[in-house]
Amino acid sequence: MSTATLDAPTAPMRFVPLRVASLPPSVAPLKAPCSSCHLRELCLPCGLTDLDVDRLDGMDFSRRRLKAGQTLYRGGDAFRYIYAVRSGTFKSSLTLADGREQVSGFHMAGEVLGLDAVAYARHASDAIALEDSEICAIPYALLMNPSVDGSGLQQALTRLMSREIVREHSLLMLLGSMSAEERLAAFLLNLSLRLKALGYSSSEFHLRMSRAEIGSYLGLKLETVSRTFSAFAHQGLLEVDKRHIRIVNPQRLMAAVETSRHESLAA
Amino acid sequence: MSTATLDAPTAPMRFVPLRVASLPPSVAPLKAPCSSCHLRELCLPCGLTDLDVDRLDGMDFSRRRLKAGQTLYRGGDAFRYIYAVRSGTFKSSLTLADGREQVSGFHMAGEVLGLDAVAYARHASDAIALEDSEICAIPYALLMNPSVDGSGLQQALTRLMSREIVREHSLLMLLGSMSAEERLAAFLLNLSLRLKALGYSSSEFHLRMSRAEIGSYLGLKLETVSRTFSAFAHQGLLEVDKRHIRIVNPQRLMAAVETSRHESLAA
DNA sequence: CGCTAAGTTGAGAGATGTCAAATATAGTGG
DNA sequence: CCACTATATTTGACATCTCTCAACTTAGCG
């Protein structure tokens, strides 16, 4: 119940991975040239030579639109594509046999999903759209094709994966040794930074995920997340109106990341 | 104090990454042909064609011995090598500015360290030997060399990295939503499995790490780890004598991984 | 206009952390 | 070889943080 309800409008309940044949929802094989994409500095093409970007262009990805709540892939699905988020937001999550869910990441425009599937040729997590979104589906076989050997593509992919490892490192740190306040502060600052990189306000934004999803990501219960939001609001660090967040005092929010357990009062 | 003391005999105290010029301790550039290594089925060569293994042999890695407590690399160190453990055990860990340490993995023979460094050309964690150990240092530049393009080497590396991501996934799950008993049970079963793969007993073994290190890895305090060991012993799941562990009832230890929070008694 | 889902808040429970003491073990120096 | 010191581990008593359960509010929707 508790986890399944997160799958919102369209996604069916399920605990056993479905073996869907291939691309499920609205398949729209539009051409999506990386060279002219506004995300090219952030996404997979980042750091590639023009030549390699041309090579990417030649691969002719299909785009796909997903509505809020729709599933991009599930743990256990056969691995064909890695996905680059063009717009919108996704969560990726792991599910234990007893139904407990752990959100392992939130993904915004320019970020790449599905790298955990390379190891065993099956997706190792679920990816679900948190709002109406659009992705590029990049056939992994094309990236690994002998014809692109010698290009920087495989190295770029390797770097992306390493970055993913580093990203998970900080999540480990967070889950392993930080208090609720530290976790939420770190989460908000990280969001803020990524939104800024996309050209949005870093101080005021709309959360795409529920308290329960934030809680799952941070290893907390939704009530604790809610209380911690309220605490930050009372301390004057944030203004919180449901999913609308304004960071009033970024300095002290940063201080909260490595402080809250030690000094109870500051202000 | 608490973290620095773990650095044991030889490693100096430090909180700021040292910029050591290059290979520090005992450098012994012996040839270490992968083709004849007893770990070739587990280590980097796993899944490679004979041809690719030959290519690896041609790279002529250096080996290095480290004594217990010695550092293989530190976060911030320039990235030159990835390391394959030949014998012994390592821990890798992250350190927060305030000194809090998070152990992010324990690594045994056949496992590869340092993949988190690819992203930014600097190591993102520390790696420290927990006992006298031996590693192969594989120059990353050689793996990425144009001359090996088209071989399966880069793909093997990509698979290794993806596997690392998947490994960290389960650690996230563990840290985010499991109880102390579930964490320790999962940890012991994982160790047991890996030791078995190396040809050792899966039911009786010697822990190479302290209670504090286990605790850091599992997001628990050392006292909690100790108490949980005792609890398992009283329940008849384990026999525990300091670092000597015997798994008496593997079935119930497995059951403990997804059970302990729900059913308090089972006997 | 009720209904459902999301969020907030309170009260109390429970798990893990903190502090402290006792024991054991290993390494060190005399 | 032994005393001495530092480190590791275990255990108890207590504190505290987060969870659990529950009520209430609000917003969106049929």
Q: In what order do the strands lie in the sheet with B62-66?
A: B27-28, B62-66, B133-139, B81-87, B112-113
Per-residue pLDDT at B13: 31
- Report CB contact under 8 Å: A172, B146: no
**Going residue by residue through chain B (267 aa), what tens digit of pLDDT does each one get?**
333 333 333 333 323 233 333 444 445 455 668 888 899 989 999 889 998 998 888 887 889 999 999 999 999 999 999 999 999 999 999 998 888 899 999 999 999 999 999 999 999 999 999 999 999 999 999 988 887 777 788 889 999 999 999 999 999 999 999 999 999 999 999 999 999 999 999 999 999 999 999 999 999 999 999 999 999 999 999 999 999 999 999 999 999 997 765 554 333
In this structure, are B136 and B188 located in the same domain?
no
Bases along strand D below 7 A from a protein CB = 7-13, 17-22, 27
In this structure, are B32 and B141 located in the same domain?
yes
In this structure, are A103 and A204 located in the same domain?
no
In this structure, are A128 and A205 located in the same domain?
no
- Per the domain annotation, does B264 fall within a domain? no
Take residue A99 and report the two structure tokens written for it: 């139904």
Sign, CA dihedral B68-B100-A166-A178, equals positive
- Per the domain annotation, does B166 fall within a domain? no
- Residues of chain B in contact with residue A177, where contact means CB-CB under 8 angstroms, are 96, 100-102, 216, 219
Pick from A152, A172, A192: which residue ends a domain? A172
In this structure, are B109 and B225 located in the same domain?
no
What's phi and psi for A14, nearest 5 deg?
-170, 150
Cα–Cα distance for residue pair B47/B40, rounded to 1 Å = 9
- Report CB contact under 8 Å: A173, B120: no
In this structure, are A228 and A148 located in the same domain?
no
In this structure, are B219 and B105 located in the same domain?
no
CATH number at residue B125: 2.60.120.10
Distance from CA of B156 to the nearest CA of A (A): 9
A258 CA to D17 C1' in angstroms comes to 17
- Residues of chain A in contact with residue B104, where contact means CB-CB under 8 angstroms, are 169, 172
List strand C contacts in B 183-212 (CB < 7 A).
Answer: none
Q: Is the pTM of this model over 0.85?
A: yes
In this structure, are A96 and A221 located in the same domain?
no
Residues 6+ apart with CB under 8 A from A47: A152, A156, A159
- Per the domain annotation, does A263 fall within a domain? no
- Report CB contact under 8 Å: B219, A168: no
In this structure, are B121 and B12 located in the same domain?
yes
In this structure, are B79 and B135 located in the same domain?
yes
Pick from A172, A198, A222: which residue ends a domain? A172
Pick from A143, A172, A201: which residue ends a domain? A172
Cα–Cα distance for residue pair B182/A23, rounded to 1 Å = 37
Residue B226, domain extent: 178-257
- Per the domain annotation, does A265 fall within a domain? no
Q: What angle do CA A101, A75, A121 make, to 5 degrees?
A: 145
CB atoms within 10 A of CB A138: 23
Helix (H) or strand (E) holding A75: none
Per-residue pLDDT at A57: 87
Of the candidates A108, A163, A194, the one whose C-alpha atom is nearest the C-alpha of residue B124 is A163
- Per the domain annotation, does B161 fall within a domain? no
- Report CB contact under 8 Å: B116, A165: yes
DSSP state of A122: B
Take residue A141 and report the two structure tokens written for it: 């076989």
- Per the domain annotation, does B253 fall within a domain? yes
What nucleotide is nearest B219 when CA is compared to C1'? C16
Residues 6+ apart with CB under 8 A from A227: none
- Per the domain annotation, does A98 fall within a domain? yes
- Per the domain annotation, does A267 fall within a domain? no
CATH number at residue B205: 1.10.10.10
In this structure, are A187 and A138 located in the same domain?
no
Cα–Cα distance for residue pair A52/A153, rounded to 1 Å = 7
- Report CB contact under 8 Å: B165, A116: yes
Per-residue pLDDT at A238: 96
In this structure, are B143 and B29 located in the same domain?
yes
The domain total for chain B is: 2
Which residues does chain A have with pLDDT short of 50? 1-26, 264-267
A212 CA to D29 C1' in angstroms comes to 22
Q: Are B91 and B84 in contact (CB under 8 A)?
A: no
Beta-strand ranges (E) seen in chain A are: 27-28, 62-66, 71-73, 81-87, 90-95, 101-107, 112-113, 126-129, 133-139, 204-206, 238-241, 244-247
Bases along strand C below 7 A from a protein CB = 5-11, 15-20, 25
Per-residue pLDDT at B151: 78
Amino acid at B247: I
DSSP-assigned beta bridge partners for residue A106: A91
Per-residue pLDDT at B23: 46
Instruction: Please give the residue of chain A at the shortest CA–CA distance from B145.
Output: A150
